[in-house]
Amino acid sequence: MSNTLVIYSTVDGQTKAICEQVKNINQQFGATVTLASLDEAESIGLAQFDKILVAASIRYGKHRPELYQFINRHHAVLSAKTNAFLSVNVVARKPEKNTPETNPYMKKFLALSLWQPQQLGVFAGKIDYPKYRLFDKTMIRFIMWMTKGPTDTSGTFEFTNWTQVDEFARSFAER
């Protein structure tokens, strides 16, 4: 039985939802799982966990700077544990960009990060136009127009492949 920490960095909540599913599946495998935001994880003693997963979303082409700050501070502990990283981004809705090897944001993360995770995952996120403020709604709509994505600002579009999330979570649970 493992003691697992799942850390998430999210803007709109889809990364947290994915992490909740990872938590549920790992608990089914007998793990004790703590789910924490990136901010909460700063005050948790990482050394007490056997396994650590970090999940982060993309907004406007970047992971949040706080993610890299956290990793830079804790990369030695992260590397010493069974570990994984997953990135959630809408670009991953495209089949040619939905793997760690083909996703531009995962490639960028690995190039910028001091930590080189043992297991990697990439999942498509969600666009929830009705929840966005005018600026975000306009910017995301423009990005979607440029990338041939949904532009109807009255809609919510979930791209997450939950079967892939489940497979990733099972693989992490079995490590």
Q: All domains of the chain, ordered by start, with CATH?
A: 3-125+160-173 (3.40.50.360), 127-159 (no CATH)
Q: pLDDT tens per residue, the chain (175 residues)?
A: 789 999 999 988 999 999 999 999 999 999 999 999 999 998 999 999 999 999 999 988 889 999 999 999 999 999 999 999 999 999 999 999 999 999 999 999 999 999 999 999 999 999 999 999 999 999 999 999 998 999 999 999 999 999 999 999 999 999 9
pLDDT of residue 1: 78
Taking the CB of residue 146, how many other CB atoms lie within 10 A of it? 9
| Single-letter amino acid, residue 47 | A
Predicted local distance difference test score (pLDDT) of residue 59 = 85
Distance, CA of 164 to CA of 122 (rounded, Å): 9
Percentages helix, strand, coil for the chain (3-state, rounded to 5) are 45, 25, 30
What CA–CA distance (Å, rounded) separates 112 from 117? 13
Instruction: Give the pLDDT score at 60.
Output: 84
Quick one: how far is CA 123 from the chain centroid? 7
Q: How far is CA 172 from the centre of its chain?
A: 14
Confidence (pLDDT) at 126? 95
d(CA 114, CA 138): 34
> Would you state the pLDDT for residue 169?
97
At 17 the pLDDT is 97
Give the pLDDT confidence score for residue 159 in this predicted structure.
Answer: 96
Extract the tokens encoding 63.
Answer: 């992971």
Give the pLDDT of residue 112: 92
Tell me what pLDDT residue 134 has: 94
What is the rounded distance in angstroms from the CA atom of residue 27 to the CA atom of residue 104? 31
